Structure 1
Amino acid sequence: MSDAVDTRGRLAIARRWNRTYVRSRFFDALSLLLPPGEAFLIETLETWRVLAAPLPDATLEREIERFVREEHTHRQAHQRYNDAMAEDVPQVRAVMQRAGRVTDELGKMSLPMRLALVAAFEHLTAVLAEEIGSNDNLLIDDPSRASRLWRWHAREELDHRHVAIDVCAHAGVRPATLRLALLLATAYLALDLARYTVALCRCDIRAGAGRRAMLFDALRFAASAVPSFARMTRGWCRFVFAPLDRAL
């Protein structure tokens, strides 16, 4: 009996790696979206590079290669993270499959729109990465494996954030298309991130977490995250006003 209790205790601590259940599940839900999302980014830029070959800009060629290499590494890292999560919460597998089906639908769009979506998703992740790097409202800064994974990912996102914009500029993607893509990418991320966060929290409630405590946790997280989301909204607006500015 004591072994069973200890095991549940260790799992509960792992589920609260970011101080609380809801804060932790917010990033866990985002991680579930990343492997199929990063596959979409890689496939889109690789497709354009083949169709546009030979590229007149050797620097852009090298930057695309670096982008693809780093996104592939991110995909592998988050797939391992998600697999470990699924060992604890088997229902995660179904969520992972749903996320993959959504990106399959995005892959059916025209190449200019897919390029614009790549730029939009990269801008959104860079805005989050900026917030993670400058404040700890959303993500705890400690030596835990999960925290180190997210902070490493954030640094690399900021380092190659300009690549997708450069590709769109070379491909002649219109600013209006980029703005539309930002709206689509924002809606996709916001809706699925909220849905998957709630789904993971429900799994925690079924595993023994208190429903009322979870609700209060969610309200505290929402209140404490207001300054972070306000700063991120300003970053979001930068793309609206100057979508082809690589210094965003």
Structure 2
Amino acid sequence: MAFEVEVPVRHRTMWLAFTDPEKMARAVPGLTVDAVHTVPPADGPEGVAGDVVAGRLKLRVGAGGAGATITYRGTACIAGAEAHNGTLDIAVDAAQARGDGALAGYLRVTLGPAGDAGERTVISVVPELELSGRALEFGRADWHEAVETLGAAWIETLAAEFRDAVEAVEAEEASQADEVAAPAVVESLSNKSGESESEKITNPPVVPAASPALDESLSDDPLAAVWSGRYEKNRWLPLITALTLFLLIKRRRRHRADKAGADSSFRME
């Protein structure tokens, strides 16, 4: 009685969906959840891993007028799960609401990634159930069809609920990220603007210094004004001074030559 269903939801999301007993149970069509009992693994039966869901399931078996609806009242829980294999066992223990019939056993659920990027999940279900009472009035094919129809609707409902929930969470996280990022961008721009203004203050633009005017009072050369040619009326002064000195020296030599013994210089032969 094994069957497979492929849903457009990632493997990790579907695994979270199947390992949430209450949400998983509420996705089953025709199931009314009466209570959810928290059972720590240490206190519960061997293999029980989490909450036990108590409820009533109306199951349609058979087609047309030959079919019938059987109501079962009982419990279900996750008896074991192996995340690395993507498998879990759901233990079911229920009795007919009217009559002496019962339905008990396990549903072995296996999840596997599908699609090029793992954007889908293939879910296979293998029921291992023992039936008694009114259930025996129907053949294997009727039960196979009933379980497959119920299981496919259950998985698709669960996938849709978790897909919507995940998308809502992702949208909210993205919105919060945008709200956090927006002030950060404004602050960053503000900081950059502040830094720019600070740079303008601490590093003012360099203005080329004007060439300092020649300060004659600080010059080492007392004739700097003459050599620079700034005073046109004194530009012949050096030549006049040199010529005057030359004439005075020549005149003095002539005067000494006219007086014997007046020249103190001598020549050795």
- TM normalised by structure 2 equals 0.29
Higher relative contact order (CA 8 A, sep 6+): 1
- In our comparison, the structure showing a higher alpha carbon Rg is 2
Structure holding more helix per residue: 1
